[in-house]
Each structure stands twice: as structure tokens, then as C-alpha cells.
Structure 1
Amino acid sequence: MEPTPDQPSAEFRLVCAACRWPRAAGDVAVREAASVPGIDWDRVARIIRRHRVWGLAADAFRSAGIALPLTLDKRLSERAGQIARQNLSAAAETRRLGGILDAAGIDWITFKGLPLAIQGYGTLAVKSANDIDILVAADDAAPAAALLREAGYQRFSPGPEISDDQVAAWMQVSKESGWRHPANGLIVELHSRLLQNPGLLPEAALSAPRKRIAIARGIEVPTMGDELMFPYLFAHGAHHGWFRLKWLADLNAMLVADPAGPEARYREAKALGVGRCAAQGLLLAHEMLGLDLPPALVKELRADRAHRRLVNVAKACLGGKFEDVEHASPTARTMLPVLAAGLLLRRGLGYKLSELGALAANPVDRASGRLPKGLAFLYPVLGGVRWSRRMLGRGK
């Protein structure tokens, strides 16, 4: 039977069990899920790959004593080793790049990735961190990009349609640019803001309270403080429809390790206007990863129709026909429901207008100065046309 968002496959439930944290609690769930007759281990591997949870799965199956097919067991061991080595390499590179930014007088923090791995899991061995996320002030985006070039990085996002001298204009409209080092393969995402639509969480800024985290021996980096970390994680996952299980697993691990507890983090997020984002993330983690929530809080969260709608949208992105298939195109990613749900993430007309503006921001044309200066007000219209064509599969 084809899995549905509300009736996931046994294989998807097994991978969800492997993503539970702490590990002691996850062991019981993994053994129970793995005991279901007829588990398709090839499908398990595809789900793990699709959701980028190789390290968590390897750790979970080893801890629970699950006998795996040799091919999958070898693959898990190889990927777990790669994750640990890559994360250590990324930690050293973060220190190098941080030193370069400090020497240039550029304020910065790093977030998600390695700081999240240490805070949530206490190790760099289980969380896959594909890139180094660095946030700088908007005015420092251009000089920071130039420093990345000098450090050996090559820009891949935006692509060649944007010249080097147009990157600053690009980052006034788009929240990030992507850079890859040809020698070590490491990727840096240089951010000038944390969310594409700053109206979702205006407090998410470089000026927010921060702390320092030791991500490896002798390597301490600045990152966002808890006052921003949890609202940001809720908002980031919600804005992307939580389409990757890895993000939910990281949120779950952070909440389990947090002394304040999930309910306190929900109240804080609600006070900042992203209570719906928090409700969605908490309910998903509760249902899929066994996050312990007070029954009264679960009842409160489920009583809101908008919360239920957001949970259903995320389940459709995480599971169903997309359990083991990577989202290959805007339409395949169920983007229309996600984008529509994006308008529900925060109350108020102002937020909804800023969300529509972010969707039609059109950074390519703005950065390249396609329209004459007097017609700049038409960029959102042009961007909306381009977006509509992409949704219909008729162009870029």
C-alpha cells in the first residue's frame, strides 16, 4: 500500500525512531520499529539519504543492536565516518574564516550546523552539516564575499548570471550567497539576514544576544543565544515546510537538552509572534519523534485550526510519496501548499504583505539592474511572473 502523510510506511517509522533523542529512549523505539515483518532495507536507505540522517541512523542502529544487511551496514559506517571527518574539517575552517573576518573588523556569528550539533547532541559524529553558515551585517556582505574569494572559495549561488560586482545588490534582496572551496569541498553560506522574509521574525538579527560555543577542542565560535535560537529554529523549519526530517531531529535534540523545556520555548516564541511556527514544530516532533509534551499543551496546540493545517502541510512534505524521493523541482516539493501555508505562519496583514513581497523579491533582475531606475517598482511584478512560470514548469 502506498504510504500517506497520515499513514507512513514501516520503513519511515523506523527512520523516525532512529532520529529520536536521547539515544537511550530511542533504542526501545528502534528495536520495536525494526521488528516489523518485511522491512524493506533498500527503502530504509533511500529514506535515510533523502532526509540526510546517515549519522543518526548509524548511531541508532548500532546502539540498539540491530542486525543490518551487510550493504547497508557498510554504507552507514562509511557515511558516519565521513560526517565526523567533514565536521572536524569544517570546525577548523570556521576558525580560519572567523579569524579572517575578525582581522577585517567584520562582526559575525555562525549558526545551525556545528554549534547546533554540539548543543543538541554533544558530539560532531551524528549530525550531518553540509555547510558553514555565517551571518554578517548587510553592509558587510560585499567585503565578506571578497574575503571568501581571497580565502579560495568560488561562488555557485547566485550563478554566472550575477557578476562579482553585483553580489552586494543580490544580497540586499536575497538572504544568502553560496560558496564552495574547490580543494576541500566545504561550502559556506554567507548570510546578510537569517530569514528570507525578515517580517516573520524581526528579532532574528546579528544584534540579537549571542553566546560562544566550543565546537571542537580549542575552537570556540560566536553563535546565537537561546533567546533567538529556538524561535529561529521554529521559524526556519516552518518557512520550509519541514521538508527534511533532519531539521526536525535537530530541533527535537535541542529541546530535549534544554533546561527550560518545550512549553517555555513555545511561550517565548508566541510572544515574538511565531507561536504558530513553534506549535507546528512541537506537534511534529511529538508525533513523529516522541518529544515529551505536557498533555495540556498538546491539547492547546491541537485546538487551533491553523496549527492543524500547518502540521498537515509539513507531513505531506516529509512523508507520503516523498518519504524516500528527493524533492526534485518546485512543483515536486509541494511548494504551492507550503507557500500558501507560509501566509499562516504569523498573524497580521503586515506580515502577509511582507511574505508576498519576499516571494516576488526577484533578486536576479534587481542585482543585474534589468529595469531602468525609474521602473524599479516593477521588479516584484516581474518576479511574480517568473515565479508563476517556475511553478508551472515553464521556465526559470
Structure 2
Amino acid sequence: MNKELSLDATVLPKELNIILSFIKSESEGSLCSFDADVFTGINWSLFLELIRHHRINPYIYKQIKRIDKAYIPVYVSEELRRDYQQNTFRMLRLSAEMEQLSKLLSNHNIEVLFLKGPALAADLYGDISKRTCSDLDILISIDNLDRAHDLLVALDYVKDDYFSTVLNDWKWRHHHVTYMHSQKNTKIEIHWKLNPGLSYEPTFAELWERRKKSSIASFPVYMLGYEDLFMFLASHGARHGWSRLRWLVDIDRIVRHPMNWEKEIVCLKKYQMAHVGGQALVLASNLLATPLTKEMNTLIEGKRPVHLAHAALFYMKQMIHLHREPLPDDVARYHKHHLFSLMSIQLKLLHILSFLYPYPMDVEMLPLPKNLHFLYFPLRPFMWLWRKTRRHSWS
């Protein structure tokens, strides 16, 4: 590998580097071989914690059950076996729910794309038990949100995301709502965009036109076409700092599938995400030995993809939970900077300008009749300054 593209994996814990070796071997369909001294001094509790944090239990279990049992403590193998079985049962339940949901929405003329879940596992991994999943993520047109809501409520799903909004800012500041079913213990996220906040991305109609049919169910289940799927997986992983290896394994799996990289590169450049795709490839190549072809060189050229890949190691070496709030101050600052660094120049400008758009907190601070909400635009700078001044006076 070109030295300029190399990452220093020694900054990662020894336990994580062993896990990466297991993943590489499983991806290549080979048996991972170790010298006995590699396992000397391993913190097996940390080993298990890392596997669970990165949501890669099935991949590691497949390898561990095939190597010399003298290397691995019995309790570690048993824990991973139980995790593997529980995940298999969960994926089977989600598969049934996915087919039911696809049928329900289709019967009401609502086009739906399944973003991850069992459809992704079956297509990229060839086996739903080889990928973990806790919910179903679906993408529909924003015009169908109300109808989909009514259908889910009729199935005893309860809307869990109740966010405040002003002047319809939810349409672009957010990108999904969550529904929970208490008896089934199932969560469904309905997306109307691929990414939160301001972003350049294909319309639902474009994504639907390029859709791919999954082979997992008897009733038609559709997912993103490979070119759109790679872009989505790369942007999703980047947005979360690649803090879970499961997302990087997804990249490894899709890169090993036949793809039209000429179309992919055009698509990534069109939506100003070529550097994000490059970051994913640099990480996958370095950490998972993902094979890169000459066609992919366009995406990994220059310093930016490598710089972004280096930045992601911050999340991996610390086992950061981005959804466990409040985040430590240093992590919150780093992540805020990282998200900004992922934006194109145009998006950075739009992001800065978006602070002039009213926030729901402005309504809480100064309630106005709905027909006067337009006044929050000129008032926004003053309200921001007032909040900042009050915050400093309290600290």
C-alpha cells in the first residue's frame, strides 16, 4: 500500500487489532491463524466489550469457534455463542416484520426502501445471522409520512420522536422519526432523507428508480441500488465517526460486490461526497484489508480522504458512544469539528447561514402567535446573543 495512504493501527488497543484480524479472515473466507503469544496479556473482558460495542459479534464468533480452543477462555466463547444465537433470533423476527411492513405499505401505494436490516445482511453478507441489527430503517417520500404514521399506529406502534419545530424546520434539520412496538419490542425508523441537516442527496424518486430487489422475502422488498447504497453507508459511517466497526464491515462487503465504480464516482461527486467515499475506502483498506481497484483511486487521491480517515481513529481507540448523552466535553468538541470537516465548502457556508434560521428554543424563549413566526428571522441574532450572555453569567 502507498505509504501516504497508511494509517497507524498501533494506536488502537491490542484487543481491537486482534478483532480486526478476525474480521479480515472472515471476509476473505479463510481461517485466522495466530501464534500463542499473541493472546498473552489479553484483557478478555475488554475484548468482549469491544466486540459488543462495535456490533460485530457474528463475524468474530464465526472465527473463534474454528480456532484452537486453548487460545480462548471458555466463558468468552460461550458469551459470543449466546450473542450469536440471540442475534439470529432477532434477525428472523425483524425479517418477518420487514416483509409485513413492505406488504402493508405497498398495499396502500406507499413506495418503501429498506436501508439496512435483514435485507442488507442477506444481500451483502449472504446470511442474515452474520450482521447485527436492532431496528428497521425505511425510507419513504416525505409526502407519505402522515399515511405511514396512521398505518403504524393501527398496528399498535407508538411514535417515539416528538421534537419541537418552528417554520417547518423539521423537514431539513431532522431526517427520521422513530416508532416503538412495546409487545414486539421492535423499533422502526421512518426516514424521509438519507442524512440529517443540510445535505446534497438524491430525491426519493431517483433512489426508487435505481432500487434493487432483495431476495430475502417472498413478498417484494426493495433496497437501495449498490451505487446509492455505498454513498449512504459511507455518509452514515462518516457522520458517526466510524465509531462502530460494523459500518466499516458493511463497506468491506459492498466493495467486494460487483459495482459500477464509474457511476459511483460520478454520483459521489455530484452530491459532494467524494471525500467521504474516499475516507471509507482508506479506512477499510487499512483496517480490514479491503481490496481496492484502480477505478477507486480517484476517490482516495489527495490528502483529504487520508486526513479524514486519521480523524476517525479518535473514535475507535476510545470506544466512544455517540448516542450516550451527555458526551464528554472533549468528545463533543471533537465530534462537532469532525462533522464540519466532512462538509463541502458550499455546505459549510449553508451550515453557517442556517444559524440565522429560527430554532424551536426561540419560540420557548419568546412565544409569538403562529402568524407572526416570521419575526423570529430578524430577532434570531439578538436572541442568540441573549442566550449566550445568560449562559456566561450563570457559569
Task: Report matched runs for 1:293-372 at 5 Å.
Answer: 293-294=292-293, 304-319=302-317, 321-322=318-319, 328-331=325-328, 334-349=331-346, 351-356=347-352, 372=369
Q: Structure 1 residues 73-82 or 234-243, which shifts more?
A: 234-243
Q: Distance in 1 between matches of 2:141 and 2:183?
A: 28
- Partner residue, 1:212: 213
Task: Report matched runs for 1:1-396 at 5 Å.
Answer: 7-20=11-24, 22-25=26-29, 27-28=31-32, 31=34, 35-65=38-68, 67-158=71-162, 170-171=170-171, 173-199=173-199, 201-203=200-202, 205-208=204-207, 209-216=210-217, 218-256=218-256, 258-260=257-259, 265-266=264-265, 268-294=267-293, 304-319=302-317, 321-322=318-319, 328-331=325-328, 334-349=331-346, 351-356=347-352, 372=369, 373-377=373-377
Instruction: Rate the CA distance shift 1:305–1:214 in 2: closer, same or farther, 3 A.
Output: same
Shift of 1:327: 5.3
Q: Distance in 1 between matches of 2:80 and 2:26?
A: 20
Asked if structure 2 preserves the Cα contact closer than 8 Å seen for 1:231 and 1:269, the reply is yes
Q: Distance in 1 between matches of 2:45 and 2:245?
A: 18
Counterpart of 2:216 in structure 1: which amino acid? I
Counterpart of 1:318 in structure 2: which amino acid? M
Q: Distance in 2 between matches of 1:384 and 1:270?
A: 35
Instruction: Rate the CA distance shift 1:326–1:14 in 2: closer, same or farther, 3 A.
Output: farther
Asked if structure 2 preserves the Cα contact closer than 8 Å seen for 1:204 and 1:232, the reply is no
Q: Distance in 2 between matches of 1:290 and 1:387?
A: 49
SS at 2:204's partner residue? coil
SS at 2:24's partner residue? coil
Shift of 1:70: 2.2
- TM (normalized to structure 1)? 0.81
Output one character per residue of 1:2-30: Cα deviation in whole Å (capped at 9) or x when no partner. xx9752121011122233365445533x6
Q: Distance in 1 between matches of 2:284 and 2:273?
A: 17
Q: Distance in 1 between matches of 2:313 and 2:107?
A: 45
SS at 1:293's partner residue? coil
SS at 2:129's partner residue? coil
Instruction: Rate the CA distance shift 1:172–1:235 in 2: closer, same or farther, 3 A.
Output: closer
Counterpart of 1:46 in structure 2: which amino acid? E
SS at 1:193's partner residue? coil
Output one character per residue of 1:335-361: Cα deviation in whole Å (capped at 9) or x when no partner. 433332333334332x22334467887
Shift of 1:239: 2.0
Output one character per residue of 1:364-395: Cα deviation in whole Å (capped at 9) or x when no partner. 55999965422343797699789999xx9x99
Counterpart of 2:146 in structure 1: which amino acid? A
Instruction: Rate the CA distance shift 1:103–1:361 in 2: closer, same or farther, 3 A.
Output: farther
- Structure number with the bigger relative contact order (C-alpha 8 A, sep ≥ 6) is 1
Instruction: Rate the CA distance shift 1:139–1:302 in 2: closer, same or farther, 3 A.
Output: closer
Asked if structure 1 preserves the Cα contact closer than 8 Å seen for 2:243 and 2:320, the reply is no
Asked if structure 2 preserves the Cα contact closer than 8 Å seen for 1:176 and 1:190, the reply is yes
Instruction: Rate the CA distance shift 1:104–1:380 in 2: closer, same or farther, 3 A.
Output: farther
Q: Matched residues, percent identical? A: 20
SS at 1:79's partner residue? helix
- TM (normalized to structure 2)? 0.81
Q: Distance in 2 between matches of 1:248 and 1:77?
A: 23
Instruction: Rate the CA distance shift 1:170–1:342 in 2: closer, same or farther, 3 A.
Output: closer
Asked if structure 1 preserves the Cα contact closer than 8 Å seen for 2:357 and 2:380, the reply is yes
